[in-house]
Amino acid sequence: MGLATSGARPWGENGWLDLVQDANRESIVTDLPGHGANYHTASELTYEKCYESVLSSISTPPVDAIGFSLGARILLTVASRKPDTFRKLVLSGIGDNLFSIDKTRYKNIRDGIEGNPNPSNPESRYFNQLSEADDFKPGLAIQELINSPQLPLAVDQLREVNCPVLVVIGENDFAAPATELLDSLPNATYLELKGVDHFATPKNFTFMETALKFIDAEPQW
């Protein structure tokens, strides 16, 4: 899941969960604190609390995991600190943006959530649309999360990720490129989605097909 969305949006609405079920695999969908079903757990929301929440949701490691945007970043953080957590890992919607903090970007996101989107910034407009959705509740919590301490990931940390990783990013994603990320991961495979931007990534069929094949979860039709 991405920032300000629920697990049901990218994975349920786009058919991922049905496909995994058709592969006779079990799905565990985790909403980050302050998101989706966990919007009520938003008190003093931080990135570290998101990390702890995801880690605690994995009761029987190693597991296969797929993450998008903020969710992918959290999964990668878990993998770098607890390398034995995952068997295989799919990371989408993140790239070399992990190695720096873009304050202008986060201001545009905050403005969008607050109802004052930057009309020239697609991400700001996107978060403004999200903030108007019926299932969007934790606007203040999301702003709190954005303002919480977040350190760029270090290359040395990522070298600890020893499981196979599939990195997926759209050609037109603001998180692109992913060159440094790929160079930092010992066992990484790359998929670029031609003509796809950040927000269209979770519903892209090539992404779905490749990711499910990567984690051995192709539907048994």
Q: Does position 79 have pLDDT exceeding 90, yes or no?
A: yes
- Enclosing H/E stretch for 192: strand 188-193
- Positive or negative torsion for Cα 112, 117, 122, 126: positive
Q: What pTM was computed for the model?
A: 0.84
Chain segment 135-181, per-residue pLDDT in tens = 555 555 666 666 666 767 889 989 999 999 999 999 999 899 999 99
With beta carbons less than 8 A apart as the criterion, state whether 206 and 9 touch.
no
pLDDT category at 124 given cuts 50, 70, 90 is confident
Choose the weakest-confidence range: 2-6, 109-113, 116-120, 153-157.
2-6
Question: Domains in the chain, ordered, with CATH?
Answer: 8-214 (3.40.50.1820)
pLDDT category at 188 given cuts 50, 70, 90 is very high
- Packing angle, helices 103-113 and 139-147, rounded to 10: 170
- Residue whose tokens read 């998180």: 175
Chain segment 22-66, per-residue pLDDT in tens = 999 999 888 776 555 544 445 567 788 888 888 998 999 999 999
Chain segment 82-114, per-residue pLDDT in tens = 999 999 999 999 999 898 877 787 788 778 877
